[in-house]
Structures are given as C-alpha cells and as structure tokens.
Amino acid sequence: MTKRISRRTFFEDAAGGAGGLAMAQSQAQVPKRPMGRTGLEVSCMGLGGYHLGAIPEQSTIDGIVGSAIDAGVNFFDNAWEYHDGRSEEVAGRALKGKRDQVIVMTKVCTHGRDQRIAMRQLEESLRRLQTDHLDVWQIHEVVYWNDPDLIFAPNGAIEALAKAKQQGKTASSASPATKIHAFTRKCSITDFPFDTVQMPLNCFDATFRSFEQAILPELNRRGIAPL
C-alpha cells in the first residue's frame, strides 16, 4: 500500500537534495490536495514544461516525465510559446498513453489577448500536446497594467476561456499572476468564474502589496484554487 505523507514532511525530506528526494519518493507519493472547486486532486509539486523544452533528447524527457508520474506528480505545466512550441510537443510525446493519469495545464501567450488569436493558440496547443482537451488553460503573463482591460474587452481572451470550456476543450478556466492585483479588481467587477489563479509568493510578499494578505482571502472566498 502506498504511504501518504504531508506536504511539509515531503519537502523536508526532499530538501536534502537528490538523495533526500529519492528517499521521499521511495517512502511515499508526492502528496495531493484539492484544486479549488474543480473536483481535481493535484500534486503539491508539478513539472514545468519550459525546462523540458530545453532538453535535446526525447528519451531523457520521457524518463523525467515517467519518473515524475511514478512519484505521484500529476500536474504538468506548459505554455504555447515555451521554446517556440517545442515544450508542448515534447510533453505531448512523453505523455502519450499516460494522459488519463495527469492534469495538463498550458497557457495562451502574451499577444493572445483577443478571442480569435487565443482560440487559434488553443487549437495549436491541443495538437502539440496530442490531446483533445486541457485540464487548465491560463492567460499567460499579465504583466502590463492595461492587460486586464484588453482581456476583458469585447471579443477579448476572457471570452475564449468561456468558449473553450463550453466546447469541452478545457475543463478549467484560469487566470494568471504578475499584475494580479489589477486583474483581481477586474474580476471582482465582472465576477468571472475562474477556477484557478497562478501567483507568486516569496519572502518579501508580506511587506509589499501582499498577495497573501490581499489576494488569497478573495480566492478563498470564491473557491478559486491558488497555484
């Protein structure tokens, strides 16, 4: 029987480096937790697609992905523009035959702020990832203060999120991170039903426009999963 441990214990074991991580993996699977109101159980550690796209050999990528799944990792992140699409392509090959074991997330890129371009990028991501649907689809890098206005404009990317979910091409609609304060204000006005929000947290967070103090309570109130 697979032993389950807490997130804290897993990371304490893994902090010892490769040996600690191997020991943590041999003792128990990476712990999982509910992803907001989606009904999905997501591993507290995910595998980023950007770095996969930098590896030349597909066999190495396959090995990394297989080892991650064996260790209980089921969250695989990616984005349309990572390494000009190669990250999605190699991840799609590595996940072939394993798609039902994982939660796949990718993102529409920074110039996909209108519905037409966003939907085109979605179709390209699905083809590269060799799947007919995503579990989470995000709007990538909201880094300019006018991004929320563009995204929520008529025929903006926000309409692509809703359309894709209605068509069954995504299971979860999501929003991104960096200027999340401006984005959250816009969300509060429109009350768009996001399922997840990805945002940074670090040791300086508590003293400067704190995500933890300003954003997490709003996410918890609305049942939105923070990533």
Diameter of the chain measured on Cα atoms: 52
pTM across the whole model: 0.80
Per-residue confidence (pLDDT) for residue 172, from 0 to 100: 74
Name the H helices within 55-156: 58-70, 86-94, 115-129, 147-151
CA distance 168 to 181: 29
> Which of the given ranges, 28-37, 87-96, 113-122, 176-185, has the highest pLDDT on average?
87-96
Per-residue confidence (pLDDT) for residue 6, from 0 to 100: 58
pLDDT digits (tens, 9 = 90+) for 84-120: 999 999 999 999 999 999 999 999 987 778 999 999 9
Per-residue confidence (pLDDT) for residue 177, from 0 to 100: 43
Per-residue confidence (pLDDT) for residue 9, from 0 to 100: 61
pLDDT, averaged across the chain = 82
pLDDT digits (tens, 9 = 90+) for 55-82: 999 999 999 999 999 999 999 999 999 9
**Of residues 227 and 143, which shows the higher confidence score?**
227
- Domains in the chain (CATH in brackets) are 34-226 (3.20.20.100)
Q: How confident is the model at residue 178 (pLDDT cuts 50, 70, 90)?
A: very low
Q: Which residues contact 69 (CB under 8 A, 6 or more apart)?
A: 98, 101, 102
